[in-house]
Every structure is written in C-alpha cells, then in structure tokens.
A and B are shown apart, each in its own frame.
Chain A
C-alpha cells in the first residue's frame, strides 16, 4: 500500500508540470517588440534623427569630420594620434565610413515604406520615408559611386546584394521623388490620409514642407550632375519640372525634443554636458586656417559664430557662453597639416554652431537651397535671378547662425565691393565660383560632405593641399573606400563593382568632371 502512495505522488508531480503550451509560450520575446507590434509612427522619428546625424556628421572619428578638415573648416588639436590619417588624406576600408550609418537608417526607412505599402491612410509616412531614402542613397553614391540599391535591404532573401550603377541610381531617385511629390500633392486634399503629428520630428506633419524638401533634393540631384555632358538635356527637362513646385525656404532641422539632459548631435558633442563639464569633442577640434582666414579676409562677421576666441569655451549650458570679440587677432587657426600643439593655441568651434542644449540638427539648410537654386539659374537649368538667390543664401546663413541684426549684417557683407568671392562678379564663370565659395562658407560644420562634393565637382573653393610633410597624397580623396565588410561578407559583388582595384585618389564618382 505504501508503494502505491509513493507512486501516486510521483505521478501527481509529473502530471502537474505539463501543459500544452509549455514550450510554445516562450517563443515570443518578452523584452522587445516584434514586427507585428511596431508601427510606422514609432519607427519614423528615429530615421529622421539618425539620417540627420549622419549628414551633420559631427562624430569626430571616422565620420564626416575627415572632410571638415580636408575642405579647410577644421584642424585638430595636437596630441591625438588619429589626426595624422586625416591630415595625410588617408582613406581606408574602416575610416572614414558612412556606409553602416546610412544603410542602418535605410533599413528602418524601408520598414516604414513596407508597412506603408499600398495603404492610402499611411501614404504620408511612406512618402516621407522615400524622400529620406533619396537623401541617404544620394549621399552614399556621392561617397562611394556604385552601391547596392535595387538588391539592397532584402534581408535573408539576398545576403549578397549586387551593386547598381551610380548614374542609374541617381535617375531612379529622381523618378521616385517625382512619384512621391505627385502623391503628396494628390493626397493633400484627401481626408483619409493620416497627417503625421509630433512623430514627424522635422516638420511636425507639414507636408507642404516635405514637398519642398523633396523638390529641393531633386534639384540637388540634377545640379550635382552638371559636369556630365551626356545628361544635359535630361537635366534641363527634369529641372524645368521642379520650377512650379518651388524650393525649401526654411531650414530642415530635426528636433525630437532635445533638452539640456538629452542633447542633440552637435550640442551633445561640443557643448556643456549634462553634468556641467565640456562634452567630449570640444577639445579635439580647432579652427582650420583656410576657412578662418577666409572669413577674416572678407570681413565676415560669421568668423565669431563659426569659431570662438582663443582659449574660450562654453561655460553655461543655458545662456550665452562665448566671449565674442571684434578683434580678428583673437581668432586663430592653422592650415591642415600644421599641427596645433595644444587646444589653447587654436580657435574652438563657435557659438553659431553650438547654440543651446535644446538645439536641433540641420538636415538641409535654406541657405543651401538658395545657393543650389542660384547655381541652377546660372547653368540655365531653371529661371530666376541668380544674384538675388545668392544674396538670399548668405542672408539665410546669417540668420541660422544668429548673427546680430542678421539681415542688415548680411546685406553689408555681400554689398562690399571688389572682394573676390563676395562681391557679385560680372562673368558667369566667376558668378558660379562665387556662389559655390559662399555655399562652402555657409555650410561650415553643418554639411561638410556637401562642401567636399562641390570641390570634387567644381574645384571651388581652391583649398590648399595639406601641409603635412608625411602626406603621400597631394589632393583630397575623390571618394571613399568600400567598408571592409563588403570585401569579406559580399566579396563577389564588391569585386564586380571594382572594389578591389579602385584608387580613391583617381577613381571618380560618375558626376566628377
């Protein structure tokens, strides 16, 4: 009898520990949402800020800041070993790189596009994502040339995406933007289409601004190809169609709600940290002599906004923190290749860039929009008054930086006579070089890649070669290397695209002359 009791006890224990869902109920991750849970509203905000962060590219190691030094904006304070690479124009398969940043953003933009699908209600989200996709792909092409595009972002369906021709990607982006713009225009009166709210951390759901941004990006894509002789007719036709929609006149700035405790990309790198100390990158960079001297020599008050006076730094997270000076001798920067020995011996980044802890980060500035339009007019792609657009670009730059009495100061600046690359010249060629040079002057620290693009496309401004005695290369690279992961994880496609033979100092992106 005793045995029976024991056995029944065992059976009871065994039986109680089993039920049907014993294994399957643990299939779902309790820590993170799956695809079924995530919505476009939740995915969109991060794509806007991550794209903006990459475009702004303030991350000092390996990102865009190589270009910031190349085009003369910045130099590096002494004692940090990585600056040798930058000042020698060295590019490698690990630095500088923007591949992962852009494709990472594109993977999430693709989620928004896929989830939007053919749904009319989510059309605006899909359209916004496609505009951002165009920016990301354009910037990838500009840095790398041919890249995975039509076969990209397919996950397990294709772990080895082949590369598309850069020029064809440009054409595809232009066509996609056309589709997006016509959809936005059609949907503007459709009450069934959801208008994004705060999750649109760029324009707060203002689809009119997205339309202008899309059109401006399209114009940029076209103007970028100005040196491609075979595409001139195409460019003119496509550019003409942009005219009726108009272009961005406001700054496209991403700001999901930055504050002193949660800072954006620029302020978070160069401002005052949450704990009251200096953020990490402030002491790493110092003024590049070429840009600093340009502002000095053209009597440009932006000198004191792009750069700080020697030895100053932001001291208060919430108020005015730079000591401004009207004496140009208080600002100093060395040319690239001449190593500033200590942080105190060069001007730091200035209060027009590092404004306040709650500042947003720019994706595309109105100033850039105006300069692109001015160039398009000068090249005969669109109609308009190039000089007026040029002046509007300078004014918008002054306004962004917060220059005192910005409009008047800007007018006084561009009203100067006899100053090369400031005063409006008579010859069209000089007008183009003046527009590009002032575009460069306006994008300092705000979109360094665009300045590098313009130098590669037009040769303006004529940035002096690095002074580094150890530099083997005597001019800026023409493009980046593909990242090492392409050579190892996507080797066949990478080789087919010439990844194993390219020379970044002579292999040109298709739009280079």
Chain B
C-alpha cells in the first residue's frame, strides 16, 4: 500500500521535472520591507490587465511581462506601489509597511508558509526578542503571558524545573495533554525545549487547536509549538552577538510557619532519668506537656527563654547535650538553610549571509547554582546552521549539540526529602550550624542529631545525590527545489538522538551502638538499624528519525490563486532503557552495583514505533478576500494491530476579509482590517504505548531463585481491538483592526469533541486482570480566546511610546462518558475524571456537614468527623488565564512588564496538611493551641436537627486537633483557591547603541536589568506556596507537596554586545 504511494509520488516528481526544463524566461522579483525582510504573499498585477500573480512566502515572484508594463504591487498592511518594467530581469520592490502584525507570514505545519490573513484558525507567533524578555533558560518559560490559550506551568523550583506546555486545556483522560514540539520541521518531544538555547530561536509559532495542527495527524490534537531556528543574517554583513547574563535567585515566598511553640509529639511517660536533663513528657505540676527536645513535631510549651530548657536533642553517649537558648532562632532555621542561587548565561553567536546564502553559529553556556546548597545544573549548546541557494535549489540545515547536567540532592537514608526534614526542624534549632555531620562527636552527626525521627538535611546534601546528564544531537536538512514557476519539491530529513545517563547515589550509615539501643526510648530512627548505601544507574538512549517529502504546486485558476501540497511523512522512534540498582552497597564511597550484597535489580525496556503518512493540502485565495483551505492525511501506525492501524485526519477552514471585500470599509479612517474565519477538523490519535495490543508475561516478582525461573501473566489486558481516539474540533474567529491597526482585536471560540479515548479501565481482578485497555470515554472541551493589542497608546514626538498587549482565555473540559456505566476514573494526585464534571476534578474527603454546609461536630468532643465518601470540589486547571504585557519606551530606555492571572481553579495543599501534622505551620497556632469552638459548627441534637454550636470546645486544641483530628484527615480542609496574580517579569533596558554608533567596531550595546517572579498575589487562604507548582508533570494537576521547594525571585543583569 505505502510502497505504491511512494512510487506514485516518485512518478509525479519525474513528470514535473520534464515540465521544468521546458519553462521559458520571464522577469523575477522580490518584495521586501524597508529593512530587507521579505513581504510574503504580496499581490503583483499588471496594471490594466487581468494578468498577475502572488509572491511566495519569501516575497519572490515570477511573471511573464514586457518592458513598459506597469506592475501594481500591494499587500495588506502596506502602502501599494507601482513599478514600471525595464530591461532589468531581476527587480526588488520595497513597500512601506503600515502594520507589521497583519503582513506577517505564518509558518504552519511542515513549514508551509501561509499569509496570516488567509488562516481560518488561530495561531500565534512569538519572535526572538519577545521570547527572551525574561531571559529564560527554558524557552517554554518565554511563552508565559504571551499567547492566549497557552498554559505554561512551571512545576517546581530548582535548577532544572520541569515546565508543562498545554494548549487549550486538557482533553485526554489518560494520555499526555502537552503540545507537540516541532523543531525546524521535525517532530520532537516537548521536553526537548529544555535543551534548546532560547537565543537560537527565530520564531516560535503556536498552533493552538487541532484544526491548525491537523496536518501533523495523530500527534497534533493537543496543538503544536513550532520552533524555527536562526539560519543567519540576510543583509550581507557579518554580525557577532555577545551576551552575558547574571542572575541571583532568592527565596521569595515561604510557607507561613509558627515560631511560638516548642517540641512535643504526643509522648507519654518518663524519658531522661539522669541529670541534669531529667524530665517527663507530662509536667507533674501543671498536667500540661513538657518540652520534648528530640521531637520533630512542635506541639510543646511556648518558648519562654527558660535557661533550664536551653537544649535540643537527647544526651549523646558522653552525656552531653547541645545547648541553645529556649527561644526561636533570630532567622527562621527553615529559611536559613537556603542559599542565594546564582545563574550565569554566556551567549555568543555569529551570523552572516545575504538573501541566497547565510550561516549561523551559536554557543551558549548556562550554569545554575540553586537555592538548595550544592544543587547545580549547567548546559552547553552549540548550533550551526546554514542556508545555500544553488539556482533553483535551496538547502538549509542545522546541527545542534547540547549537553545538560543536573546534580541535585536526593532523599535521605529514611527515604524522606530534604525539604521535609527541614520542615520538621524546631524553631530553636540553629540548623545552619549543624553542617559538620561527618564529625562523629558533632551534634550534626547522624548519631547525635537532635531530631530522633528525621535526619539532618545537611547529611542528605552531602550524601544523597541525583545526577542526570543529557547529550542531545539534533539535526535537520531541508532541500527545496523550484521545479517550475509553479511547483516546488521539498525534502526534509531530521534526527534527534538523546542519551541520558542517570545516577543516584545514597551513602550507607552505620549507627553507633549507643544510638541504636535507643537509650531514651524515643523510638529513634537509629534503632531501626544500619542503612546500607545504594546506587541506581539508568541509561536511556532515544533516537528519532523523520523524513518528509512534499510537492508544492501553485496555480492561478480564474480568480482563484490555488496551492496544492502533496506529501509523505515517515518517522521512526526508538528507545532503549537500561536500569540497574543495588541498595545493599558495603563499601563507603563506592557507588558501583558490583560492590553490593544480595542481587542487583536490573531491567531493560526497548520500544520502537513507526508511522507512515500521506497528506494533501489545498488552499485557494479568491481575489484576496476569501480563503479556503483543506487538508487530508492518512496515517499508518505500528502501534495498533493490523486492520486497526490506519486512520484519516482532515481539516477544512475558511477566512473572509470584509475589509478587502468591501471598498467602502477601506475608505473609513477608523477601520483598518476585518476578517471572520472558521475551521473544522477531525484528528485521530493513538495514546497507548507500543505493544499495547498483545498480552504478555512478566518475570514473577522475586524470581529467579537460583536456576528456578517463573513467569506471571501481566495484570493489564492488552486489547487487539483498540482503534485510535478521535478529536473533532470546530473553531470560529473574528479579527479586527482599528485606527491604522493601532488597535488589533482577535477572538476565537472552539469546541472539541474527544471521543473513543483509550485508557486502561480498572476491572476487578476476578476477571483475571486488574485493568484493561479499552476505547471508551469522551470529553468535550470548549473555550474562548481574546487577544487585544494596543499599539502606540501614547506616541509622543519626544519619543515616549506605550504599547499594551493583553490576552484572555477561558477554557473548560467536561467528561461526557467513561467506560460502560463507570462514573469515575482516577488520574492521580487526588484528581479524578467524573462524568458530568469539568476535568480534571479534585476529588477528596470532606467533613460531615449539615444541609446548609455547616460542619457538624460531636456534642461531647467538639470535633468534626470525616466523610467516608469523596466529593468533587473543583477543577484543578485554570478556567481563566489572563496575560498582560505593557511596554513603555522613552529615548534609549524601554520597560517591559509581563503579568498574568490564572483563576477559577483549586489546588490541594498537601504540604500544609503535613505541616499541620508536624505543628510547624502558622495555621496550627491560630488558636494559641487552646481548645476552641470549631467555627460555624453545628451539633446534631436529633436525626436531621442541627443546633449552632455555641459552647462545646474541641477536646484538644493542640496536637490532638492539628495532628490527629478528622479535621486534618479531611481533604477539603486543604483544598484552596489556586487563583493568583503574578508579575512574572519586569525588564528595563538601556540601549547604548546610538552612543556607541561613532565607533566602527561596535554595532550595538544594550544593558538590561530584569526581575523574574516579581510578585504574586494570592487569596488569603493560600499562605504557603505557588499554586502553579505540582507534584509531578502529569494530568493530575494542583497537588502541592513537600517535594516542591518554596518559590523564588530572580534578579538578572544582561549585557549584550553586537559587533
């Protein structure tokens, strides 16, 4: 089947070759703007005749004409110009551009360049400068606030934070909802964005919906982010850019902690029997709890400076106790642990060339020292790109090598993360002085550390490391042959090869015999015995190859300018992961699986997927005001069983420019552009991994024992009957320009119907399996997007100019059905898909309430109770995303601000739930640790009869309530409004270029001072963290835990030279 397709394509190629050599001479030309950049798709007509043509995306045109003819060259957003033909066969026409936005060429699927005004769907393009306003290390961060409908979420702080790129919300219950990344025409992984130098990016185009992306077929339902890299300069002069960036990073928002109460964790009985620190857990005189100095929980008496209590921890084997004042530390010890992070970026690039040939070379070195001591990352990027034109053949290519390294702290020997250990530190512990863990006599040592239950965070910093090294080679080659005036043949070949080497190491611990015997009966961590060291080595080799061939034919038929593209796309993706670990190492400092007792655990996983696609794309332009476009694609995938593995993808869209249609409109002063558009598409997607249609067996857990092997049936039922998912999208839009395009307005509405979703439905194990891959579930997504660009709100003669760009997206996905009568599907992170509810939905337990919603408390204990069932309490992705970016420039100064708001959603503050347990949160001190009347509570006096509770106090207002009561166990106690206003970036640039213009050796000099994460404004209930942070990069959103670090703010200075 596919062989025949290739063969017929080849025949077409050869056929047109014959036509090509028969072509006669004519004049050719180029349409550019004042700076030499091409104006694509300009109309070229011979005055007084019906003969004419349209320039291509590069502004080039060819026309049969004769000397003396007058050509009229026009383009939307530019002043038309007439040109009289002379003997010159190669002409350049320069048009004066009035509005840049509308003339821009949009690079759509497979590098197909289309005129912005002809598009029937919504796209957005962000240029290099805009992308780098915040000087991000990861290019995805540069999109924040710039594109309506794009939700870019930074999942955590740290030296290499994971960034989630999602367009138009979530639609798949069980598959990745992130956008597809395309780099220079080659499909890539979205996480590869973290390995690209943002300075190498010429433009980033966002194809928001399935319609825009339909030509990419099965992977395009989540939209596409297209990265086009720089290929060199066009104006004939070599340019050298040097840029040095220095960033300081500081903690900005820290959870609200209490600094009033000391350590106590519910202990009973007598502990220290010797002097001078003898005490019991309960004060024999007052009946209240005593200070427990070895505790992690902070439910003890208030700090009062009592010198008799001036110690932390239990005595060591010499009877010594670490002595501190019985006051909280001046600087909160939990903050004191963090350091100032420093990031430096060094960029150098060289570009040269003209319109035919150009080249580009860039280097980048980024070094990040994080806010957690010793956390570090760096990245080196090297890119070479060039473009050559040989007559009708244009070849461009690029090669990118990047190396990324991250080295961060891992979990300690108890398996807990550093941040959690830190949060379990009492306020009177001078943690920053307890770095000397290696000294056996130090109170920082594992045997003498004050906290009986959680280890010294500095121990993990020095002894538990997670190191990742990524090597990427990415390259692509594009060849374009102008076969005839009306046909181009294109060939693209690309590869991305990534090698990941992961190593995590954990030092072993031998506890002293003194500590192991748990002399004070604390149940200390040392008493559970020595901890062996461990190592995990993982290597992952990933390889992607893709080849794309297309023929582009342009023809004017009557009043229609038509363009037909026929193409073929083939890709192959391979990965091989090898994991080996041994958690029983016996030699200190030797992290090699060979030096362990027991049997190392090893595994190997190979995956390979291929796809073949054929596509056709037809667009027609009727007299410059009506545009039709349709595409069709058929995919053949190796993922599904033969017979189910091919599927159709199609899209149609149309645009009507009223402005161009009605001459009356063109005469008005106030209106400068008007267009309506619509699009409809149907895309298929396969969201299961390779080999999901054939049942397999696993090695039985624990086996082999010696020579005895055993296999067990996989608990997932792999279904040979699976077919692809389907997304049907409809989109309409309106685009308006006013007052010579000083005001641009763009509106889109879209509606997605996502059916036949593939997911592993949970089945009861009495079927022999615990889950089964099925086609089930449907969701509907819809949303509105508004973009408003106000250019030159203020534009004075003295040079003050104010621009203001804003965008708003409103998005909702609703679950319509799941498998059979199933109503719920667990997404993870307390997120659920629930039929009839928005997706994803936070789904947690609640406190028992009366019909009015008041919490019902027990008439004796004054305590609420937890429901045994779960309730949906709100969506976990923002309903509203608002982006604002004002720009003010005056003389050589320019000030740019990027701000955004995300609202209409909730998150689960799991870290607060845990800090309530430890008594560290300020929350737990709100009632002074006294018994209190649960606010707005009622008491049930008879079935269904509730009286307001005016007199029954909680039986415990201390540890019994905050750590152990139903209040803390109920999910709703910690589900908080996730809304936040953020000023993401304020950037101030001073351009020295005019000042240095007199020196020949330098062309430009700019100094920028900027601040990222300037401010965050949250509802009062969230006094903890950034609601954007999430436990992991998954469909389960809005789950903040103690694995996420506190939010930081970054101050950056950038000095850029151009030579």
Q: Assuming A2-B390, A110-B768, A275-B597, what are 13 further A-B pairs, CB within 8 angstroms?
A: A3-B481, A11-B10, A27-B691, A31-B606, A32-B697, A33-B697, A42-B709, A100-B770, A107-B768, A199-B708, A256-B706, A257-B707, A262-B705
Complex: A383 Cα to B357 Cα, angstroms: 103
What is the 8 Å Cβ interface bit string for chain A, positions 472-505, against chain B (1 contact, 0 not)? 0000000000010110111100000000000000
Given A23-B637, A106-B768, A491-B821, also A7-B14 (CB < 8 A): yes
Judge whether A108 and B21 touch: CB under 8 Å.
Answer: no
Given A159-B763, A256-B708, also A10-B489 (CB < 8 A): yes
What is the 8 Å Cβ interface bit string for chain B, positions 568-603, against chain A (1 contact, 0 not)? 101000000000000110100000000001110000
Which residue from chain B places its CB closest to the CB of A274 in the assembled complex? B598
Question: At the interface, yes or no: A297 with Cβ under 8 Å from chain B?
Answer: no
Most buried by A among B605, B697, B822: B697
Question: At the interface, yes or no: B604 with Cβ under 8 Å from chain A?
Answer: yes
Question: At the interface, yes or no: A326 with Cβ under 8 Å from chain B?
Answer: no
- Using C-beta atoms within 8 Å of the partner chain, give the interface range for chain B: 35 or more
Question: At the interface, yes or no: A229 with Cβ under 8 Å from chain B?
Answer: no
Judge whether B642 and A27 touch: CB under 8 Å.
Answer: yes
Q: Which residues of A contact B (CB under 8 A)?
A: 2-4, 6-7, 10-11, 13-15, 17-18, 20, 22-24, 26-35, 37-38, 42-46, 49-50, 78-79, 99-100, 103-104, 106-108, 110-111, 147-148, 152-156, 158-159, 161, 198-199, 201, 256-259, 261-262, 273-278, 283, 341-344, 483, 485-486, 488-491
Q: Chain B's nearest CB lies how many Å from the CB of A338?
A: 14
Most buried by B among A6, A152, A490: A6
Complex: A28 Cα to B14 Cα, angstroms: 38
Please indicate the chain B residues that have their CB under 8 angstroms from the CB of A106 in the complex: 768
Please indicate the chain A residues that have their CB under 8 angstroms from the CB of B34 in the complex: none
25 example contacts (A-B, Cβ-Cβ < 8 A) are as follows A4-B17, A10-B491, A17-B547, A18-B570, A20-B3, A22-B612, A22-B638, A23-B642, A24-B642, A27-B642, A28-B691, A31-B607, A33-B696, A33-B711, A44-B710, A50-B700, A104-B770, A158-B767, A161-B767, A256-B705, A275-B583, A275-B598, A278-B528, A278-B529, A283-B528
Please indicate the chain A residues that have their CB under 8 angstroms from the CB of B690 in the complex: 26, 29
Please indicate the chain B residues that have their CB under 8 angstroms from the CB of A32 in the complex: 691, 696-698, 714
Please indicate the chain B residues that have their CB under 8 angstroms from the CB of A3 in the complex: 17, 20-21, 392-393, 481, 483
Which residue from chain B places its CB closest to the CB of A485 in the assembled complex? B764
Closest 3 A-B residue pairs measured CB to CB?
A: A46-B700, A257-B705, A277-B529
Judge whether A274 and B597 touch: CB under 8 Å.
Answer: yes
Q: Chain B's nearest CB lies how many Å from the CB of A135?
A: 17
Judge whether A154 and B767 touch: CB under 8 Å.
Answer: yes
Complex: A156 Cα to B481 Cα, angstroms: 53
Complex: A221 Cα to B707 Cα, angstroms: 36
Please indicate the chain B residues that have their CB under 8 angstroms from the CB of A37 in the complex: 697
What is the 8 Å Cβ interface bit string for chain B, positions 863-894, against chain A (1 contact, 0 not)? 00000000000000000000000000000000
Which residue from chain A places its CB closest to the CB of B393 in the assembled complex? A6
Judge whether A343 and B715 touch: CB under 8 Å.
Answer: no
Given A10-B13, A107-B713, A256-B703, also A277-B530 (CB < 8 A): yes
Complex: A481 Cα to B638 Cα, angstroms: 44
Please indicate the chain A residues that have their CB under 8 angstroms from the CB of B687 in the complex: none
Judge whether B766 and A35 touch: CB under 8 Å.
Answer: no
Judge whether B17 and A7 touch: CB under 8 Å.
Answer: yes
Please indicate the chain A residues that have their CB under 8 angstroms from the CB of B713 in the complex: 43, 107-108, 111
Complex: A282 Cα to B849 Cα, angstroms: 42
Q: From residue 467 to 516 of chain B, which have CB atoms closer than 8 A to chain A? A: 479, 481, 483, 489, 491, 493
Most buried by A among B2, B9, B696, B698: B696
Judge whether A14 and B10 touch: CB under 8 Å.
Answer: yes
Q: From residue 745 to 776 of chain B, which have CB atoms closer than 8 A to chain A? A: 761-770, 772
Given A14-B9, A275-B597, also A26-B766 (CB < 8 A): no
Question: At the interface, yes or no: B614 with Cβ under 8 Å from chain A?
Answer: no
Please indicate the chain A residues that have their CB under 8 angstroms from the CB of B21 in the complex: 3
Please indicate the chain B residues that have their CB under 8 angstroms from the CB of A201 in the complex: 708
Q: Chain A's nearest CB lies how many Å from the CB of B511?
A: 10
What is the 8 Å Cβ interface bit string for chain B, positions 365-400, against chain A (1 contact, 0 not)? 000000000000000000000000011110000000
Q: Chain B's nearest CB lies how many Å from the CB of A257?
A: 4
Judge whether A26 and B608 touch: CB under 8 Å.
Answer: yes
Question: At the interface, yes or no: B532 with Cβ under 8 Å from chain A?
Answer: yes
Question: At the interface, yes or no: B523 with Cβ under 8 Å from chain A?
Answer: yes
Q: Chain B's nearest CB lies how many Å from the CB of A32?
A: 4
Question: At the interface, yes or no: B1034 with Cβ under 8 Å from chain A?
Answer: no
Please indicate the chain A residues that have their CB under 8 angstroms from the CB of B568 in the complex: 14
Question: At the interface, yes or no: B702 with Cβ under 8 Å from chain A?
Answer: yes
Please indicate the chain A residues that have their CB under 8 angstroms from the CB of B555 in the complex: none
Please indicate the chain A residues that have their CB under 8 angstroms from the CB of B762 in the complex: 485, 488-489
Judge whether B765 and A28 touch: CB under 8 Å.
Answer: no
Please indicate the chain B residues that have their CB under 8 angstroms from the CB of A79 in the complex: 523
Which residue from chain A places its CB closest to the CB of B708 in the assembled complex? A256
Judge whether A277 and B528 touch: CB under 8 Å.
Answer: yes
Complex: A262 Cα to B713 Cα, angstroms: 22
Given A10-B13, A32-B714, also A261-B694 (CB < 8 A): no
Judge whether B700 and A148 touch: CB under 8 Å.
Answer: no
Complex: A342 Cα to B483 Cα, angstroms: 86
Please indicate the chain B residues that have their CB under 8 angstroms from the CB of A283 in the complex: 527-528
Please indicate the chain A residues that have their CB under 8 angstroms from the CB of B696 in the complex: 29, 31-34
Which residue from chain B places its CB closest to the CB of A107 in the assembled complex? B768
Given A152-B766, A283-B528, A490-B766, also A256-B822 (CB < 8 A): no
Judge whether A10 and B765 touch: CB under 8 Å.
Answer: no
Please indicate the chain A residues that have their CB under 8 angstroms from the CB of B481 in the complex: 3, 6-7
Please indicate the chain A residues that have their CB under 8 angstroms from the CB of B2 in the complex: 18, 22
Judge whether B391 and A103 touch: CB under 8 Å.
Answer: no
Q: Chain A's nearest CB lies how many Å from the CB of B682?
A: 22
Judge whether B697 and A34 touch: CB under 8 Å.
Answer: yes
The residue from A14, A28, A198 contacting B694, defined by CB atoms under 8 A apart? A28
Which residue from chain A places its CB closest to the CB of B21 in the assembled complex? A3
Please indicate the chain B residues that have their CB under 8 angstroms from the CB of A342 in the complex: 518, 521, 523
Complex: A156 Cα to B609 Cα, angstroms: 26
Please indicate the chain A residues that have their CB under 8 angstroms from the CB of B543 in the complex: none
Judge whether A46 and B703 touch: CB under 8 Å.
Answer: yes
Please indicate the chain B residues that have their CB under 8 angstroms from the CB of A23 in the complex: 610, 612, 636-638, 642, 645
Please indicate the chain A residues that have their CB under 8 angstroms from the CB of B606 in the complex: 30-31
Complex: A148 Cα to B390 Cα, angstroms: 74
Q: Chain B's nearest CB lies how many Å from the CB of A249?
A: 26
Judge whether A49 and B766 touch: CB under 8 Å.
Answer: no
Please indicate the chain B residues that have their CB under 8 angstroms from the CB of A343 in the complex: 523, 527
Please indicate the chain A residues that have their CB under 8 angstroms from the CB of B491 in the complex: 10, 13
Judge whether A18 and B3 touch: CB under 8 Å.
Answer: yes
Most buried by B among A3, A99, A199: A3
Q: From residue 509 to 561 of chain B, which have CB atoms closer than 8 A to chain A? A: 518, 521, 523, 527-532, 547, 549
Please indicate the chain A residues that have their CB under 8 angstroms from the CB of B268 in the complex: 341
Complex: A489 Cα to B825 Cα, angstroms: 10
Which residue from chain B places its CB closest to the CB of A148 in the assembled complex? B766
Complex: A100 Cα to B762 Cα, angstroms: 13
Complex: A277 Cα to B636 Cα, angstroms: 55
Please indicate the chain B residues that have their CB under 8 angstroms from the CB of A278 in the complex: 528-529
Please indicate the chain B residues that have their CB under 8 angstroms from the CB of A46 in the complex: 700-701, 703, 710-712
Question: At the interface, yes or no: B112 with Cβ under 8 Å from chain A?
Answer: no
Question: At the interface, yes or no: B6 with Cβ under 8 Å from chain A?
Answer: yes
Judge whether A38 and B703 touch: CB under 8 Å.
Answer: no
Question: At the interface, yes or no: B670 with Cβ under 8 Å from chain A?
Answer: no
Question: At the interface, yes or no: B1037 with Cβ under 8 Å from chain A?
Answer: no
Question: At the interface, yes or no: B269 with Cβ under 8 Å from chain A?
Answer: yes
Judge whether B707 and A275 touch: CB under 8 Å.
Answer: no
Please indicate the chain A residues that have their CB under 8 angstroms from the CB of B1017 in the complex: none
Which residue from chain A places its CB closest to the CB of B268 in the assembled complex? A341
Please indicate the chain A residues that have their CB under 8 angstroms from the CB of B703 in the complex: 45-46, 256
Complex: A78 Cα to B523 Cα, angstroms: 9
Please indicate the chain A residues that have their CB under 8 angstroms from the CB of B638 in the complex: 22-24, 26-27
The residue from A22, A26, A44, A49 contacting B702, defined by CB atoms under 8 A apart? A49
